[in-house]
Structure 1
């Protein structure tokens, strides 16, 4: 992985660390951590890179090593590793104790805050209940005033009904008196009948008058009885209403008494709630003071915690320095072991070289030597030895199969050369065929384009009764192929693109192009679906004329609703619905009806 200087990386460690001879570069093979360690310019960059790349180690200029979340190294200190460990354990224990105390204080603070919130909620509920009770008292007082007004109104109606009842009773007594007098007079008239027989002629008229008066009185008596009955009914209704009003009044008085008692109880409860509210306010003030004290204590504990964390950080730094010293000692030990292993390996290599080249032990050679070479003589002998050995090694071993391998390679080369020549010839033939096909295609396209363009111009002129139209090749695109644009100029209009024409003109232009294509390459069948819909009568006539001219070599199937188009068809198929929901197919062949009435064709087209 490559790091840039913008990330704060100076270089990889194996490029910065060099070893003196005789170790040299061979020592780096025994220290693989150098290839995964980088030197950074600051501790911040090293910490960030170590967090993002935990598989690598990042070293700062002061010797601090960051790898993942582990930090080692740093400047040495006076404290030893064991002392730093003991101090670190003590600081950890102190930190845990402080954290435990802080958690307890935090829990007590949260408990007090919860009690405070519960008290505030209870106080809010009591205030709400008090407001609801006051609203109920005001509503009850309002209802009591309404009841008092209704009771006064009913009392006035009762007095009116009692006066009416006294008047009706008085009228009934008068009617009864008149009836009694009439009866006495009738009895006296009956007793004096004998005496009045003499005067019967004279009193006949009086008798008739008395009879009429009696009937009148009887009618009055019946009317009075009826009125008395109605008055009795009204009196009973008034008495019932008065009884009901008395009951309602008693009920209202009971409800008023109950409401007064409820108001008194609410007043007492309000007083007690006010006292409780004052007590809760005092408790709230005390809790707030306690909260402030606890917050101050919490700040003190946080400051103590920060100081403890600072001490722990310092202890960790001391411990990291001790670990770095230990790591340096281990590296020195490893370096010594590597050097010893290298010396042993060199000695064994020299022993094996002596045995393989001289076939003697180094001790025997040393014993046989009278005088040892030194200085320039030894260097010259060593150089001559290396040159001779290099020349022998360059010559290599003798290959007995070289001739056979040469023959096989020569045959393989001949075969591949022949295959290459065949492929080049095939490629040239294919390119020539492609060029010939492109030329033939271009010639056929140009021939078809000019033929269809001429037929298109003629058909357009025939359909529109004038004007001109043509196809034009556009500029080739990136693939080298050109497009086709259609420009048309109906009679009385300037030359323009076919997309700018009206719907009917587009349909006529498309029909002219279709006819031109069919003239160049006829087709046995052609289906036209309501192409005459946007055409007027004159253009329909020209359309049917062209269809008739081309029907000799192409069979047209035309879907249409135009009568003039139907009239040119030799066979007509129509779909009709004689009954709702039931479709029926009707077909007519004009060849079979040529001998019939000449108007049959037009009528059938009209029906279809």
Structure 2
């Protein structure tokens, strides 16, 4: 069995593990014995080598002692010779140093003489080169000044030409600007007229839409409106479902009477349901299926042609029309009808105009609806007025296009003139800058020329006062020869003495080492090493024998364990196959159980449906099935029924409630929409009122600022003229502002053509005009007068002095004259600690102290 195989495998695995452990222990013991044997062999070999060396060294000891004695004697002889040669070398070195010092002193003196001579020559040559360079610089500066003067003359001439060109272009621009302003005014007028005409046209179209809606409302009867709201439930209007000749249309509607506008239904349930709906008040609902069959005409002569014979009703309402018109006859006049009515009391007669005469009644023909005629006449008048307004708009658009084209041409001409004036002004400014720069450059060149002339004169004076060439230096003494042969001999003796001393020391060390070795002790050490090697070999043989036994036992237990593993694997494979077969049988049994449960559930559901939904007995229904009612046939029938149910769609049982809630939501949204529209109209009216008020305030403020600007400009520019203009007077809130400034004795009006000071003064005039038009109790200005000259600064201070009467002014300035007119001065300084300090001083107090 599997359990026995598991027990057998566990037992064999334990035996194999024990045998493996024993085999591993035997291998470890063998390794230790081999290591001990190798150590014993190395110890024995070392002892034998030392013994052999000691036996051989006994003969070398006497030779080393003789060699040591010879080396010591040679060392003493070399030391004596070295002492004598050292004295001779010291005397030769002293004589060489004295001679060499004398030679170096003579060379230093000659070098100083050559350096002094070279310095004088270099100074002379430097002065000559500097003089030549300054003369070249003088010539270059003279050429540069001539070129600068020529450039100044050329730039000045070009500046005069540009000034004349600017004057000419400004003269040409004035009529163009006037023409452009006139065209812009006409364009604004035409645009305003077109806008008004469009507003009037939109109002006329709105009135037309209202009239058309009213006509449609009058033309459509209540019955037609009701039928349209009910969708596809009714068939239609009865008169519309009958075809007849055109000349009998009035006769048909008169004969049908109130049924002419009746809404026809196919069955009575729908008609009764819709009669209770909203909007059904006063509407006649006819039921086609419930119309009585017409009675056959009675015997006797017919009073005339029947109206029914001339009609072609829709098949769905044929019976209804026949029941209503089966005894209706056509006559030419009511007089003819009156003659026939007495003989045929059950018949009714109708004329082509729609007059009807019957038993106990006469109905006059329906006349035309005068309200529709009035609406038609009013619509025609409005359409003619719309056409006239459209024609007026087209003509105004044509005139506007022509005016815009001319204005565009004038604007292009103005822009071209402005471009030429701007280009000429920029070139003029550039030329003036070139003249100023060239003038400054000419001054700098003149200063540099004068400085170069003075330096050249100083260099000539230095060259004339320079000393002559020095005398030739004295000859040098002979070069001293060093005692080289003594140096070489002394160095050789020193090296020989050192070599002999080292040899004597080495021989003494060898003699001492050889005397330390004892042959008797070395032989004892060899004997001990041999005994230790023998013991190690015996231990190794015992370990090898134990290793063989352990290996054999391990192989036996390993084979038994492998056989047990094979048997265990076969048993497990058989067990797994049996388990898989059992699982398959269990799954098949579970599938059968699930299928049986599903069939039982479906049978129970079908029985419940038969009992609850159809009230039938399941046993009887099953017994009633025939041989042709197979499962396939029944499944096909069920599929067909299922598809039909799908086509019908889901039944919404809450539709009535949802309709009511949606209707309430619709009514709420309609009311909200009306509120939003009303709020939008109110907001648009508020916006128009705000825009109108803002435009009025802006125009008032603009006029005030323009008036003050004209006065201040005339004050700051005596003889000049300045004004403000709107670029689009028809739209003040969206318009830009143009500043025209013409200083005295100038014809230019654009700020870009003014100088920097003039532009600053014009900007100050505009700023002060705003201040005077809308005063403030406090003003702050930061170096606004920095670009003004003395004359314009005086005018600026006069204007500021006027403002000080009603306002407080704080000015940041570096101008002394501005400070002189102030009441209080504030100075800001920084100390050594980096902190700012403010110093204040009232000039009234200073004046009082000065007067005292």
Point out the structure with max Rg over C-alpha. 2
Q: Which has the higher contact order (CA 8 A, sep 6+)?
A: 2
TM-score (norm 1): 0.35
TM-score (norm 2): 0.26
